[in-house]
Structure 1
Amino acid sequence: MWGGIRRRSSDGSWFSAFLFSLLLFCGRQAMAELRYSIPEEMKEGTFVGNVAKDLGVDKSSFTDRRFRVVSGSKDAFFEVNPDKGSLQVRKKIDREELCQGSGACQIELKILVENPLEIHYVVVEITDVNDHSPSFSEREQSFEIAENTSPGTRFELHAARDPDAGINSIRTYTITSNDHFDIESSQSDEDKIPFLVLKKSLDREQKNKHMLCVTALDGGKPPRSGTLNIIVNVSDVNDNPPVFTQDSYNVRLSENPPIGMTVIQFQVIATDSGTPSLSNNVTVNVFILDQNDNAPVIMYPLSSNGSAEGVEEIPRNVNAGHLVTKVRAYDADIGYNGWLLFSLQEVTDHSLFGLDRYTGQIRTLRSFTETDEAEHKLVILVKDNGNVSLQIAQNPNWYRASPEAQTPMKL
Structure 2
Amino acid sequence: MTKTMGYRDWRWLVLWWHIFFLLWSTIDGQTRYSIPEELKQGSVVGNIAKDLGLSSSDMFDRNLRVASEAGEQYFSVDAGKGELLVNDRIDREALCGQSASCVLPLQIVIENPLHLHRLEIEIKDINDNAPIFLTKEMFLKIAESAAVGTRFSLESAEDLDFGSNSVKSYTLAKNECFTLKLKEVEDGRAVPELVLEKPLDRERKAVHQLRLTAVDGGNPVMSGTSQITITVLDINDNFPVFEKNTYKVSLHENTPKDTSVIKIIANDADEGPNGEVEFSFGSRTPDVVMSVFEIKSLTGEIFLKGDLDYEKATSYKIEISVKDKGVPEMESHCRLQVDVVDVNDNTPEIILTSEPKPVREDAPSGTVVALLNARDGDSGNNSKVTLSLNKGSPFSLKPSYSNNYALVTNGALDRENFARYNIEITATDSGSPPLSSKKNIAVTITDVNDNPPVFTQPFYNVYLKENGVPGSILYSVSASDLDSGENAKISYSILDSKVQDVSVSSYVYMNADNGSIYSMHSFDYEKLKVFQIQVQAKDQGSPCLSSNATVHVFILDQNDNAPAVIYPSSAALGSLSHQRMPRSAKAGHLVTKVTAVDADSGHNAWISYRLAEATDTSLFTVNQYTGEVRTKRAVSEQDESSQRLLIEIKDDGEPLQSATITVSILLEDGLHEPILELRHKTSEPNRKTGRITLYLILSLASVSVLSLVTFLILAVKCIRNSRSSGSCCMRRSDCDDYKKPNRNLQIQLNTDGPIKYVEVLGGDMMSQSQSFRSCMSPMSEYSDFTLIKPSSTTDFKEVISVLDASLPDSTWTFESQQKHFHCKEVDERQRCC
Distance across 2 between alignment mates of 1:212 and 1:36: 46
Q: Whole-Å Cα distance in 2 between the matches of residues 374 and 275 of structure 1?
A: 88
Tell me which residue corresponds to 1:27.
Answer: none
2:250 pairs, out of 249, 252, 266, with: 252
Count residues with an aligned counterpart: 340
Unaligned runs of 5+ in 1: 1-30, 306-310, 316-325, 363-372, 398-411
Equivalent of residue 223 in structure 2, options 222, 225, 228: 225
User: 1:53 is paired with a residue of what secondary structure?
Assistant: helix
Report the TM-score when normalising by structure 2. 0.36
Is the counterpart of residue 129 in structure 1 residue 126 in structure 2? yes
Q: In the alignment, is the contact (CA less than 8 A) between 1:76 and 1:91 conserved in 2?
A: yes
The RMSD of aligned alpha carbons is: 4.2
Question: In 1, are the aligned partners of 2:69 and 2:105 still within 8 Å (CA)?
Answer: no
Maintained 8 Å contact 2:348/2:436: no
| SS, match of residue 282 in structure 1 | strand
TM superposition shift of 1:314: 5.7
Which of 288, 305, 308 is the matching residue for 2:340? 288
Quick check: 2:70–2:105 contact (8 Å CA) kept in 1?
A: no
Q: Distance in 1 between matches of 2:170 and 2:184?
A: 11
The answer on 1:197 being equivalent to 2:195 is yes
Change (3 A) 1:144 1:44: same
**Stretch of structure 1 that moved more, 104-113 or 277-286:** 277-286
Q: How does 1:91-106 map to 2 (within 5 A)?
A: 91-106=88-103
**Would the aligned equivalents of 1:67 and 1:85 in 2 still touch at CA under 8 Å?**
no
* 2:186 is the alignment partner of 1:164: no
Work out the CA distance in 2 between the residues paired with 1:211 and 1:35. 52
Structure 2 CA distance, aligned partners of 1:234 and 1:83? 71
Task: Kindly indicate whether the alpha-carbon contact (under 8 Å) linking 2:241 and 2:266 is maintained by their aligned counterparts in 1.
Answer: yes
Change (3 A) 1:75 1:298: closer
Q: 2:374–2:404: 8 Å Cα contact kept in structure 1?
A: no
1:219 CA drift (Å): 0.9
Secondary structure in 2 aligned to 1:392?
Answer: strand
* Residue 331 (structure 1) aligned with residue 383 (structure 2): no
CA–CA distance in 1 between the matches of 2:169 and 2:234? 33
Letter in 1 for 2:269: T
Q: Is the partner of 1:133 in helix, strand or coil?
A: coil
Aligned residue identity for 2:264: F
Q: 1:333 to 1:136 in 2, by over 3 A?
A: same
Aligned residue type for 1:277 = E
Q: Which amino acid aligns with 2:247?
A: Y
Q: What is the match of residue 63 of structure 1?
A: 60
Out of 115, 122, 140, the position equivalent to 1:118 is: 115
- Distance (Å, rounded) in 1 between the aligned partners of 2:104 and 2:73: 10
Partner SS, residue 230 of structure 2:
strand
User: Structure 1: how far apart are the matches of 2:39 and 2:169?
Assistant: 29
Pair 90,171 (structure 1): closer, same or farther in 2 beyond 3 Å: same
Letter in 1 for 2:342: D
Q: Distance in 2 between matches of 1:213 and 1:312?
A: 77
Q: In the alignment, what sits opposite 1:10? A: none
User: Post-superposition shift, 1:203?
Assistant: 4.0
1:278-310 per-position Cα deviation (integer Å, ceiling 9, x unaligned):
2222222333333422112345898739xxxxx
Residue deviations 1:8-46, cap 9 Å, x none?
A: xxxxxxxxxxxxxxxxxxxxxxx9521112221122211
Give the corresponding residue for 1:88.
85
* Counterparts of 1:279 and 1:361, CA distance in 2: 55
Distance 1:130 1:35, change over 3 A: same
Residues 298 and 329 in structure 1, CA contact (< 8 A), matched pair in contact too: yes
In percent, how many aligned pairs have the same letter?
39
* 3-state SS, counterpart of residue 42 of structure 1: coil
2:233 to 232, 235, 246: 235
CA distance in 1, matches of 2:383, 2:348: 8
Per-residue Cα deviation, 1:52-110 (whole angstroms, up to 9, x for no partner): 01111133433213211023566300011121111101111111111100412111101
CA distance in 1: counterparts of 2:55 and 2:101, whole angstroms: 33
Distance 1:139 1:242 in 2: 26
Counterpart contact for 1:347–1:379, Cα < 8 Å:
no
CA distance in 2, matches of 1:361, 1:114: 16
Deviations 1:216-243 (A, max 9, x none): 0011122111111222223223211222
Question: Could you list the runs of 5+ residues in structure 2 that have no partner in the other structure?
Answer: 1-27, 275-325, 358-362, 406-410, 414-422, 443-833
- Deviating more after overlay: 48-57 vs 97-106: 97-106
Alignment of 1:328-407 (within 5 A): 329-340=374-385, 342=386, 382-387=427-432, 390-392=435-437
The letter of the residue matching 1:236 is: D
Question: Could you tell me how far apart the structure 1 residues matched to 2:158 and 2:388 are?
Answer: 52
How has the CA–CA distance of structure 1 residues 388 and 270 changed in structure 2, closer, same or farther, with 3 Å as cutoff? farther
Return closer, same or farther for 1:213/1:329 CA change in 2, 3 Å cut-off.
Answer: same
* Equivalent in 40, 44, 48 of residue 45 of structure 2: 48
Q: Secondary structure at the match of 2:436?
A: coil
Instruction: Provide the C-alpha distance between the structure 1 equivalents of 2:66 and 2:161, rounded to a whole number of angstroms.
Output: 28
Of structures 1 and 2, the larger Rg is shown by 2
Tell me the CA shift for residue 215 of structure 1: 0.6
TM-score computed with the length of structure 1 as normaliser: 0.69
Contact 2:56-2:80 at 8 Å conserved across structures: no
The more displaced of 236-245 and 204-213 is 204-213
Write the deviation string for residues 115-168 of structure 1: whole angstroms up to 9, x where unpaired: 332211111111122121111111111222233334443322112111111211
Cα distance between partner residues in 2 of 1:115 and 1:394: 25
Q: 1:258 to 1:344 in 2, by over 3 A?
A: closer
Match of 1:304 in 2: 356
Q: Given the superposition, is the C-alpha separation of residues 238 and 218 from structure 1 closer, same or farther in structure 2, using an over 3 Å criterion?
A: same
Task: Give the secondary-structure state (helix, strand or coil) at the position aligned to 1:54.
Answer: helix
Is contact 2:37-2:90 (8 Å) kept?
yes
Distance change (3 Å), C-alpha of 1:91 and 1:279: same
Contact 1:159 1:191 in 2 (8 A): no
Moved more, 204-213 or 265-274: 204-213
Contact 1:48 1:89 in 2 (8 A): yes
Contact 1:102-1:190 within 8 A present in 2 as well: no
Contact 1:145 1:234 in 2 (8 A): yes
**Aligned partner of residue 280 in structure 1, secondary structure:** strand
Give the structure with the higher percent helix: 2
Q: Match for 2:341: what amino acid?
A: L
Check whether the contact 2:388–2:427 (CA below 8 A) recurs between aligned residues. Answer: no
Does the Cα contact within 8 Å between 2:348 and 2:374 map onto a contact in 1?
yes
Contact 2:37-2:124 within 8 A present in 1 as well: yes
> How far apart in 2 are the matches of 1:146 and 1:226?
28
Q: SS in structure 2 opposite 1:84?
A: coil
Q: 1:394 to 1:100 in 2, by over 3 A?
A: closer
Report if the CA contact (8 A) 1:173-1:185 is conserved.
Answer: no
Asked whether the equivalents of residues 70 and 104 of structure 2 are also in contact (C-alpha less than 8 Å), the reply is no
Which deviates more from structure 2 when the two are superposed, residues 169-178 or residues 196-205?
A: 196-205
> Is the partner of 2:58 in helix, strand or coil?
helix
1:212 counterpart residue number: 210
- Do the aligned partners of residues 105 and 302 (structure 1) sit closer, same or farther apart at CA in structure 2, a change above 3 Å counting? closer
| Offset of residue 201 of structure 1 | 3.9
